[in-house]
Amino acid sequence: MARSLTPQRKRSLEARLREHGLDGWRTAMANLTSSKHCRGENDRGWRADFEFCLQAKSLARLIEGAYGTAIHEIAKPSDPNPVNGVAWGWWRPKAETYKAWPVDKWESALKRYPPNGTWPWWQIGPPPGDPECLVPAEIISKHGWVEIYRGKITH
């Protein structure tokens, strides 16, 4: 885990954000957390680190899903009918607000609406692995939800 943003790291991060934007970075980080290979489940025990993500080629490949389990491969719900009167996509007008929530606010929301076999998208938005997922990657990774909920977003 990176502990500081050195001048070189800052320059590299700024360059990657200019190239791919914040959405590209978010896609890369979601793909990174969902990739067993990048999390160290490989024959060498290698894990992707911050420097890896700051490399132009590595970030582009993460965005493309080259390390397995790409979020853009996730299907949307097969049943577009609303749940409790809530339609798929309800979060879009306020997505940036939800993404800015601090971790403790997300933890509280997830205690109130816990995922129990089916991701409650009608309460907390799209599931881990979906490009529109609002829950911070650190919470998703902490609970291992990408592997559990990948593709399980129907009701």
Q: Which residues of 38-47 are buried (b: 16+ CB within 10 A; e: fewer)?
A: bbeeeeeeee
Q: Within a 10 A sphere around the Cβ of 68, how many other Cβ atoms?
A: 13
pLDDT tens-place string over residues 86-138: 777 778 888 888 888 999 999 988 888 888 777 788 788 888 877 888 999 88
Average pLDDT, the chain: 79
